[in-house]
């Protein structure tokens, strides 16, 4: 698998899975972050110019908006998304800048045209904003973004300090979905990860938020923490099911090399986190648990208990739709170009004070970008119909089903996928390995398209059953070279692909 992902290996065998134990050991290594479809990176002034040049182009189709709040009261041990300590006056000044940024391009076609279907406040800890600041920013969202009547507005955050005044400000401002990072109900593990509140506080506050009955209430759980045995995970699932939640997300713990958690494990202060096989069992148990509870499966990691939970932002976030972005460190996508805003708070404020959109980085779309993003989104949903993608290479239609067959047939044989009608459905093992499967599938298809049209450096791709705005673009050629590759990886991580994966 590593060979297939890291080289241009065109032998199907390089993509084959282990048939003996697909759940625990389908491949030698597991991809945990969606890689982007590549493209041409632009930095600084070039990025700003490219962004500015797109602003008078009207959007169409589904659209998301992402607002980033880069403050946390404390840093959790496993987190790689921590940016700045919470300081009330700094957060107040930041809310001023966010309001200005929302107003800055309110009249330009790229922001003003077409409805916005889901707004997501991520971080950081958006629930840490003071009630008055939450109110002001939400007012600006409603004033300066063309929200669809049924727009999903999510406020991500944590229970700590999410008091009644903040909840009420959020609800009054139009928030209709709370996504709260609980991670585990084990007080002992929470404390070892430097999470502040104990399990009883979490449960009491979740019950209190639920009593408002004004917004979907969704929590994140994480499996694989050091010390989180199967019994602890079982208790996490059972506690979630006992509460009046609208949905649950179950994520696996990723111990990033430079995280404080990795250092603490390496120094022996904490036991090891669960390995891939142990996490596979915990994932499989969550599937079995929520299936038995009759919750609806909304994606590989996400379940809804009630119809209030729609999960629009997360469902569309990996696809090719546009995502307007606001705030220090936010990532978005416009007409296929991914972009990231200044990550340094000082630089963000300085550029806002100068009346500039603080674009730091932009990646022009590579060849096949829309197709690859749609494949990635479909794989995340648990099923894919390759025949629904209308693709042309060298002016001729391309049948993706036939292209993928040599690899996909082996994955079916290995127990990662099932064929049902036109769809390839992931088994529980396939769901656990879905990011790896998606990356391998995209790599295989990209190689095949390049072979089908060696002289043509662009490929037309569309999926006719969805309203993706850029679906019929004539695409720019991909850039090559070490700098482009590195920047592609950075952009895939930083812009667009990770906003929805941040856990607070």
When asked if residue 79 is in the footprint of ligand SF4 (CB under 6 A), the reply is yes
Contact region with ligand SF4 (CB under 6 A), list: 16-24, 42-50, 122-130, 448-456:
122-130
Quick one: 125 or 338, whose CB is closer to ligand SF4? 125
- Told to check if 81 binds ligand SF4 by CB under 6 A, we report yes
What number of CA atoms fall less than 13 Å from residue 338's CA on the CB side? 33
Minimum gap (Å) between residue 156 Cβ and ligand SF4:
9
Whole-number minimum distance, CB 254 to ligand SF4, in Å? 12
# chain residues binding ligand SF4, by CB under 6 A: 13
Among 114, 124, 331, 358, binds ligand SF4 (CB under 6 A): 124
Helix (H, G, I), strand (E, B) or coil at 318: coil
Q: Is 191 in the site for ligand SF4 (CB under 6 A)?
A: no
**∠ CA 158-284-160, rounded to 5°:** 10
How far is residue 379 from each of residues 182, 210, 299, measured CA to CA in Å?
Answer: 26, 32, 9
Q: Given the complex with ligand SF4, which of 137 and 445 has the nearer CB atom? A: 137
Residue closer to ligand SF4, measured from CB, 82 or 335: 82
State whether the Cα torsion 456-376-358-83 is positive or negative: negative
Among the listed ranges 3-11, 77-85, 208-216, 278-286, the one in contact with ligand SF4 (CB under 6 A) is: 77-85
Which two structure tokens, joined as six digits, stand for 365?
């779309």
Q: d(Cα 288, Cα 291) in Å, to the nearest integer?
A: 5
For residue 317, the minimal CB distance to ligand SF4 (Å) is: 17
Q: What are phi and psi of 156, to 5 degrees?
A: -90, 155
Distance, CA of 456 to CA of 393 (rounded, Å): 8
The residue among 16 and 81 lying less far from ligand SF4, judged by its C-beta, is 81
Instruction: Please give the radius of gyration of the chain, using alpha carbons only, rounded to the nearest integer.
Output: 22
- The span from the CA of 54 to the CA of 84, in Å, is 31
Q: Measuring CA to CA, which residue among 387, 462, 436, 447 is closest to residue 28?
A: 436
Residue selected from 97, 111, 125, 488 as contacting ligand SF4 according to rule CB under 6 A: 125
Binding piece for ligand SF4, criterion CB under 6 A, among 118-126, 305-313, 461-469, 490-498:
118-126
Q: Which stretch binds ligand SF4 (CB under 6 A): 19-27, 78-86, 365-373, 468-476?
A: 78-86
Task: Considering the complex, state which of residue 113 and residue 259 has its C-beta at the smaller distance from ligand SF4.
Answer: 259
Out of 76, 169, 370, 398, point to the residue binding ligand SF4 (CB under 6 A).
76
Between CA 200 and CA 407 the distance in angstroms is: 49
Closer to ligand SF4 at the Cβ: 327 or 336? 327
Nearest distance from C-beta of residue 76 to ligand SF4, angstroms = 3
Q: How far is the CB of 286 from ligand SF4 (least distance, A)?
A: 20
Least CB distance from residue 445 to ligand SF4, whole Å?
Answer: 34
Residue 278: strand pairing partners: none
Residue 335 binds to ligand SF4 (criterion: CB under 6 A): no
Nearest to 329 by CA among 354, 347, 315: 347
Q: Least distance from C-beta 257 to ligand SF4, angstroms?
A: 17
What is the closest distance, in whole angstroms, from the C-beta atom of residue 92 to ligand SF4 in the complex?
A: 19
β-strands 331-334, 337-341: how paired? Answer: antiparallel
Q: Could you say whether residue 38 binds ligand SF4 (CB under 6 A)?
A: no
Q: How far is the CB of 454 from ligand SF4 (least distance, A)?
A: 45
Q: Which is nearer to ligand SF4, 114 or 124 (CB)?
A: 124
Only one of the segments 119-127, 146-154, 355-363, 483-491 lies at the binding site for ligand SF4 (rule: CB under 6 A); that segment is 119-127
Which CB, 12 or 227, lies closer to ligand SF4? 227
- CA nearest neighbour of 73 among 121, 137, 122, 126: 126
Interface residues for ligand SF4 in 127-186 (CB under 6 A)?
A: 158, 181
Give the integer Cα–Cα distance in Å for 462 and 14: 28
Phi, then psi, of 270 in degrees rounded to 5: -135, 150
End-to-end CA separation in angstroms for the chain: 32
Of the residues 228, 320, 338, 503, which one makes contact with ligand SF4 according to CB under 6 A: 503
Q: Does 123 bind ligand SF4 (CB under 6 A)?
A: yes
- By CB under 6 A, the residues from 56 to 75 that bind ligand SF4 are 72, 75
Is the Cβ of residue 141 or residue 222 nearer to ligand SF4 in the bound state?
222
Exposed, middle or buried: residue 45 (CB in 10 Å: 0-12, 13-18, 19+)?
Answer: exposed
- Select the residue interacting with ligand SF4 from 18, 33, 55, 82 (CB under 6 A): 82
Pair 228, 186: CB distance under 8 Å: yes
Plot region of 348 (φ>0 → left; ψ -120 to 50 → alpha; else → beta): alpha
Q: Give the shortest CB-329-to-ligand SF4 separation in angstroms.
A: 11
User: Given the complex with ligand SF4, which of 479 and 497 has the nearer CB atom?
Assistant: 497
Instruction: Please state the three-class secondary structure of 409-453 as a single string.
Output: HHHHHCCCEEEECCEEEECHHHHHCHHHHHHHHHHHHHHHHHHHC
Measured from the CB atom, is 63 or 179 closer to ligand SF4?
Answer: 179
Give min distance, CB of 157 to ligand SF4, in A: 8
Cβ partners under 8 Å of residue 174, min gap 6: 138, 141, 142, 153
Max CA distance (Å), the chain:
63
If one counts every other C-beta atom within 10 angstroms of the C-beta of residue 348, the result is 24
Q: Which residues pair with 219 in a beta bridge?
A: 180, 248
Residues that bind ligand SF4 (CB under 6 A): 72, 75-76, 79, 81-82, 123-125, 158, 181, 503-504
């Amino acid at each position: 698998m590593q060979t297939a992902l890291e080289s241009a290996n065109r032998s199907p065998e390089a993509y084959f899975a282990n048939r003996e134990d697909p759940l625990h050991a389908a491949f030698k290594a597991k991809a945990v972050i969606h890689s982007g479809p590549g493209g041409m990176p632009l930095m600084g002034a070039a990025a700003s110019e490219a962004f500015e040049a797109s602003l008078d182009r009207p959007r169409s189709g589904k659209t998301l908006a992402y607002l980033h709040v880069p403050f946390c009261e404390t840093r959790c041990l496993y987190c790689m998304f921590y940016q700045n300590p919470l300081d009330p006056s700094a957060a107040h000044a930041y809310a001023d800048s966010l309001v200005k940024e929302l107003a800055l391009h309110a009249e330009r076609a790229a922001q003003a045209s077409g409805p916005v279907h889901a707004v997501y406040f991520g971080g950081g800890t958006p629930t840490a904003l003071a009630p008055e600041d939450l109110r002001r920013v939400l007012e600006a969202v409603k004033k300066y973004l063309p929200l669809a009547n049924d727009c999903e507005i999510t406020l991500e955050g944590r229970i700590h300090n999410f008091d009644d005044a903040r909840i009420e400000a959020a609800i009054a401002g139009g928030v209709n979905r709370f996504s709260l990072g609980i991670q585990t109900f084990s007080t002992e593990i929470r404390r070892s990860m430097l999470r502040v509140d104990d399990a009883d506080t979490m449960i009491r506050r979740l019950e209190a938020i639920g009593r408002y009955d004004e917004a979907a209430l969704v929590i994140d759980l994480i499996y694989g923490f050091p010390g989180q045995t199967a019994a602890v995970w079982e208790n996490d699932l059972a506690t979630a099911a006992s509460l009046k939640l609208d949905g649950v997300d179950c994520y696996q713990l990723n111990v990033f090399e430079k995280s404080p958690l990795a250092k603490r494990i390496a120094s022996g202060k904490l036991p090891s986190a669960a390995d891939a096989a142990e996490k596979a069992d915990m994932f499989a148990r969550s599937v079995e648990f929520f299936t038995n509870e009759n919750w609806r499966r909304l994606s590989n990691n996400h379940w809804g208990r009630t119809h209030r939970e729609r999960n629009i932002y997360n469902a569309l976030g990996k696809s090719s739709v546009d995502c307007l972005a606001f705030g220090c460190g936010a990532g978005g996508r416009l007409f296929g170009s991914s972009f990231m805003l200044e990550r340094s708070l000082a630089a963000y404020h300085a550029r806002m004070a100068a009346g500039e959109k603080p674009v730091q980085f932009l990646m022009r779309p590579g060849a096949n970008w829309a197709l690859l993003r749609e494949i990635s989104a479909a794989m995340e949903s648990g099923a894919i119909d390759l025949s629904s993608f209308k693709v042309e290479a060298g002016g001729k239609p391309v049948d993706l089903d036939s292209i993928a067959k040599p690899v996909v047939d082996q994955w079916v044989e290995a127990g990662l996928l099932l064929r049902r009608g036109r769809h390839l459905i992931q088994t529980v093992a396939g769901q656990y390995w879905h990011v790896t499967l998606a990356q391998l599938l995209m790599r295989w298809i990209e190689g095949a398209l390049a072979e089908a049209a060696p002289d043509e450096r662009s490929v037309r791709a569309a999926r006719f059953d969805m309203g993706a705005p850029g679906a019929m673009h004539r695409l720019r050629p991909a850039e090559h070279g070490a700098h482009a590759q590195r920047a592609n990886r950075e952009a895939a991580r930083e812009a667009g692909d990770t906003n929805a994966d941040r856990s607070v």
